[in-house]
A and B are shown apart, each in its own frame.
Chain A
Amino acid sequence: MIKKIRNMTDTNLLLTITVVVFVVMYFCAVVFLGEGFRKPQTFLNLFNNNASLIIIACGLSLVMITGGIDISVGGVTALVCMSCAVNLDLKGGNVVTSMLIALGIGLAFGLVQGFLIAYLDIQPFIVTLAGMFFARGLTTIVHTNPINVKNKDFTSLKNTRITIPGLGTTNKKGIFVDATIEIGVIVAIVIVIALFFILRYSKLGRNFYAVGGNQQSALMLGINVKRTKFLSYVFCGLLAGIAGYVYFMHVGSGSPSHAQGAEMNAIAASIIGGTMLTGGVGNIIGTLFGVLSLCTIKDIVTSIGLDDAWWTGITVAVMLCIFLVIQSIVMAKKHSAGAVKDQPAAAKT
């Protein structure tokens, strides 16, 4: 068993920890907290409410795998919501133009930030910090007050629910209610699957890991390090744009206070999912489970009755702390065990 763990790659080891913790946590919630958590809809609501966070966290994981960071994603999400709301409600646009706006904003942020970071060699933290400030500021410049969108096409799109056959519960009145998901969930799942295959099987995906693992040796292997980094930020920006639209479809309004702190939640989710900020280690499936774990914790806290806003912050932080310490201890143990194992072998030769 221990040998098996030692032979696992870092990525898989951290992924396993995350998945096990999530399953145990949800199982405990089902056993001890009962009713609410037993409904399939509760589980699906995890996706419904957090589809945009899943997409953002996926983009962030890409960047973190290449060894960078992008904290502008929350700001971009808010900016996309506001711009789309203004476009639909005040400028008389339709759903297609608003989608194009969302993609355009995301792509623009990705391109500019990627260029500054990859080709001008400026620290990613500073660039994306400025990006976050810019996006947040621009959101209020576009429109100061929150807007509720009343466009008919959009509201019909927003209220579209996809029924999952076979799942559902009978409510108190004895009527059978089907379990449903929103369109955003489909988008999120498609993106997760696509990114999983890109990272695992495409040349670009492998390049991301190589650049994050060791930039110098990636360069020597003939990988275009600058272009790879650039592309990771473009992907992240684009995904932030898409996430913005998904968020917009979920809430149906634009407001400067949207997606407040989303970047930190996304970073936390990626880390819980086993992505390391040093780069080279991470997995999209892990990120998905990271988001789910984070949100399950929040659900559990509210259902226990610790409704005060501060408890959510404290529990999330405690969980993040525990995960970080577990990661650090496991990695240290594994590496020191590997070193002990290697030493006699080295002595023989």
Chain B
Amino acid sequence: MKSFLKKLTSNQIFIPCAALLLLALFNLIADPSFFKVTLDHNSNGDPVLNGFLITILDNGSELAILAIGMTLVTAASGGQDISVGAGIAIAGSVILRVLCGSNPRPDSLQTSLIVAFIIAILVSMAFSAFNGILVAYFKIQPMVATLILFTAGRSIAAWINKNQLPIISTSCDKTFGYWGTYIPGIPIPTPVFIAAISVIIIMLVLKFTNLKLYTQAVGINPKSSRLNGLNPELIKVIAFVILGICVAICGLIKVSRFQTINYSVVAKDIEMDAILAVALGGNALSGGKFNMWGSIIGAYVIQFLTTTLYKFNVSADALPAYKAVVVIMLVVTSAPVVREKLSKIFKKKAKAASKSEGGAAA
């Protein structure tokens, strides 16, 4: 029993899962209706699932997808990409630009969505590759290298659409909104499926290719991985490019959700949430070994926390303060130094207890 407990607590996924359970328990005590899921009909008369759990799954999709890419980048380069929010703005802007052409209020789409999406992926990959090249070949710290795109990204996004805000109304194209909301007849939001597919694909890739082994090797020691015949620079760039694909997918979901884009607000602060997801998953932010499930669960923990706070009428502006307190508590309890001290105290107590028991028996 004891060894089982020890195995459980030493598992990397333990902390995010425990945090998720704690949050769920807190909600269960505060208000059990949090977990109620009802089947309603939206304005079009299509069946739609409603409830806070669905909101979490729905809104957590972007974060989970980003966490996948961010984990790989963190593991390979030992740093984080802080330009993902700006990247989402660029990807979304590209999609709208290709779909709408020069007319911000189109009557019909210029091309099919697939073409726009593929172009957005290519653009996003190019920007990520730029980040990756700066990191891998110019040896600039990732946070600093991505600071460039962080400052310029939203400006570039505005420039792509000449500072206009194109709107794709439902009268212009019905199917465009499906990707961010619901497909008629299916009560589960589409982003949930997109996130699930992304997770399945990355798990298959990690299982059947050497990606995981190579990224970890590069992250732990680039020099020795070079001596073992790997190309650390290339692998770092590949990690960034994969993050670029994730960013493009998030861009699609975001623009489809709102049918338009606001360059300065879309996906604001999402880079911070994505990095937190990776850290919550128990992955070292200094690179090396990683656990993909940890990051994905971490992403949903953060979304769970956000939704819980919204439910208690915390205003959107004050939200970060509460989030910060919870994050600090989580990080402090999972810090190795604190854990060591706590386990020492527990051991002492256990010893004292066994001693007094022995005394009583004698």
Contacts and interface: CB of A to CB of B under 8 A. Distances in A.
Contacts of A120: 332, 335, 337-338
Contacts, number: 132
Given A130-B327, A137-B317, A314-B156, A121 B148 contact: no
B139 interface: yes
B151 A317 contact: yes
Interface stretch (A89-97, A194-202, A321-329): A321-329
B140 A324 contact: yes
Contacts of B275: 125-126, 129
A137 B159 contact: no
Interface stretch (B109-117, B164-172, B289-297, B318-326): B318-326
Interface residues of A, number: 46
Contact of B145 (A122, A126, A278, A324): A324
B336 interface: yes
A116 B279 CA distance: 16
Interface stretch (A14-22, A165-173, A209-217, A303-311): A303-311
Contact of A316 (B151, B285, B321): B151
A119 B138 CA distance: 33
A136 B321 CA distance: 7
B98 interface: no
Nearest to A310: B155
Contacts of A69: 143
A121 B337 contact: yes
A320 B154 contact: no
A75 B336 CA distance: 28
Contacts of B327: 126, 129-130, 133
Which of A277, A318, A329 is the most central at the interface, judged by chain B CB atoms within 10 Å of its CB? A277
Interface of B: 80, 134, 138-141, 143-145, 147-152, 154-156, 158-159, 163, 272, 275-276, 279, 285-286, 315, 317-325, 327-328, 331-332, 335-338
Given A310-B156, A332-B139, 20 more contacts: A120-B338, A123-B286, A129-B275, A133-B272, A137-B318, A137-B323, A140-B315, A141-B318, A144-B315, A144-B317, A267-B147, A268-B147, A271-B144, A278-B141, A313-B155, A317-B148, A320-B151, A324-B144, A324-B145, A329-B138
20 contacts: A121-B336, A126-B275, A126-B331, A132-B320, A132-B324, A134-B325, A137-B323, A137-B324, A144-B315, A268-B147, A277-B141, A309-B158, A313-B151, A314-B156, A314-B159, A324-B138, A324-B140, A325-B140, A328-B139, A329-B138
